[in-house]
Structures are given as C-alpha cells and as structure tokens.
Structure 1
Amino acid sequence: MPAKAPPVPPHVATQLAMLGERIRAERERQKVTAIDAAEAAGMSRVTLHRVERGEPSVTMGAYLSAMSAVGLSLQVREPEAPLVSALPDVVRLDDYPALQQLAWQLPGVTELSPAQALDLYERNWRHLDRERLTPHERRLIQALVDELGGGRLLV
C-alpha cells in the first residue's frame, strides 16, 4: 500500500507534477515502455507511474532513479536574486485597465500594494480577458509572479 502523501504547498505539488510529466515525456519520446523504464530504474511499474503523476509520497530517490533511467539529471541551483526590483512601490489602478476592472468592489481605492495587486489578479483570474491585456500590464503581472509569487501564478 502506498505511503500517505505528506502535505505539500501548491507550488511544490505543481513542481512534482511537472517533473513527473517531464520524466514521462522523455520516456515516451524514446519509445521506452513503462515496464522497461521501471526495470532500469529498479522499481515497480506502479511506482514509476506514481512518479510520472508527481505524487509527493514517492521518495526523492525514486524520482532520481526514474530520471536516470530515461537519461535525465537533476540540477540544483541557487535562486537568482533580481538586481533591481521590477515592481513599483504602489500599483496605480489607472495605469492597469484590467486590474482596475477587477478592483470594482474597492470603491475609492486608486492604489494597491504589489501584494494586493497579485492577490486580486489571482482571485479573479477567470474574469480577466487575457487577450486584451496591455504589454505594460503583462509585464506587471510577470514581475508580481516572479518577485512575490515564487514564479507561479496561483490560478
């Protein structure tokens, strides 16, 4: 019986899922069956499938073995700190039309902190017309995600 999955934050679960997808994609690109890849990694086919689904209860050793079996390697690097923040001290709603529309429920508010702006985008992402975002607003969203969201937009 598989171990109970430990609680993981959403960004970790996303990273595990992406890693599992990358392992599966590489295995399929090479036309290697799951049985052959599992055997090469020294694990059961079921465990390999759990790795490919990104399950957090699978050991790191199993992930590394599966990666090695398909010719992938893990590189750990220090996060790059931005030299200068791309975020403004305050986000003026007049400068970002889509954000201004999302802030309709905040009467009289003309400025938000960057953290408040990211929260508003994330909570209301489904209401955004992403095709109509200005390049200026796209850069703001990317800067918010990079500097405050750990590189992930939680939508």
Structure 2
Amino acid sequence: MKLASLTLAAALTGGVALAGEVAPKEVAFTEDGAIEASLTGTPGDAANGAMIVGEKSKGNCVACHQVSALADVPFQGEVGPSLDGAGSRWSEAELRGLVANAKKTFDGTVMPAFYKVDGFIRPGDAYTGKAPAGPLSPILSAQEIEDVVAFLMTLKDES
C-alpha cells in the first residue's frame, strides 16, 4: 500500500521528490520569476555546481555562456550573457529562478528550463518516431539546481 501511494504521488507531481524537496510542478515563482525558497532545504555545493555548469552530460551552461572561472572548459558559448559576475548581478532567488525556468523572467528566451516536467512540444515522432510518451524528468535535480546556484553566487564582480 505504501509503495502504491508513493507511485501515485510521483505520478501526480511529475517525478519523485525527496523529503523536503520541492517537486517541479510545486515550485513557487515570484511575479518576476525568482524562487525565494531553496528547492531542497540543503545548501548547494559550489564545487559540484561548477562541474554541472561545465559538463556536457549535465547542465552544459558553457555551451551558451562564457564563464572565466571555468577557463579549462573549451568551446564556451556566446549565445547567452557571460556568467562572470552573475553573483553580483542577480540575487540567489533570481538565479534559482533563472536556472529552474528562465522563461518566467525572460519571455522568449532560448535557455532551457532545467527544472520543468511538462508543457513541452515533442516533435520527435515526426522525425524519429521515438519521442517519449510518458512524463519527462527535469534536466537537473532540485539539489543540482541548488549546486549551480551556489556556484553562480561565487562569481562576483571584482571591485
């Protein structure tokens, strides 16, 4: 019975959320797209966040953004703004909102929503016939979002 309840809860929220973790569909954005409260209640790990920002199989933020602190990561992008000084330009809540779903702040942005599970257009069937039919998992977990935000908060402008 307990397993059935967990399965039902996961289906209703769009994914399994750990205790104290905010599920993607339950995230409370402010009018300006910020997320005031931590998604996990656990502080982010800036070192892990740096890895996520630079790793192709995870966030891959450097595909579009330049981050001088990750100079060892080649082929950084110029599509989005440089993330140098991000911790000075935006608050922790604003960064959390931008990483989770930048469209809540910047309508029309091409930045992917890293903590979203619904509302996607799935053109795969028209091209490959292999588009997933069921619920999708977010690109990053709630803790990975917190880790990326912790890293971005370390990127302060030099004074």
TM (normalized to structure 1)? 0.22
Which structure is higher in helix share? 1
Larger-gyration structure (1/2)? 1
Higher relative contact order, structure no. (Cα contacts within 8 Å, ≥ 6 residues apart):
2
